Amino acid sequence: MSVLSELSVGETAMVVALDLPESVQNHLMHMGFVPDASVTALRRAPAGDPTVYGIDGMEIALRRETADSIHVRNAALDLQDEERELLEAGR
| Mean pLDDT taken over the chain | 89
d(CA 23, CA 40): 23
Q: Taking the domains of the chain in order of start, what are their residue ranges? A: 2-89
CATH architecture of the domain 2-89 equals: Roll (2.30)
40 within 8 A of 53, measured Cβ to Cβ: yes
pLDDT bracket for residue 48 (50, 70, 90): confident
CA-atom Rg of the chain in angstroms:
14
A 10 A CB-CB count for 41 gives 21
Instruction: Answer with the residue of higher pLDDT: 1 or 14.
Output: 14
Which residues sit opposite 59 in a β-bridge?
Answer: 54
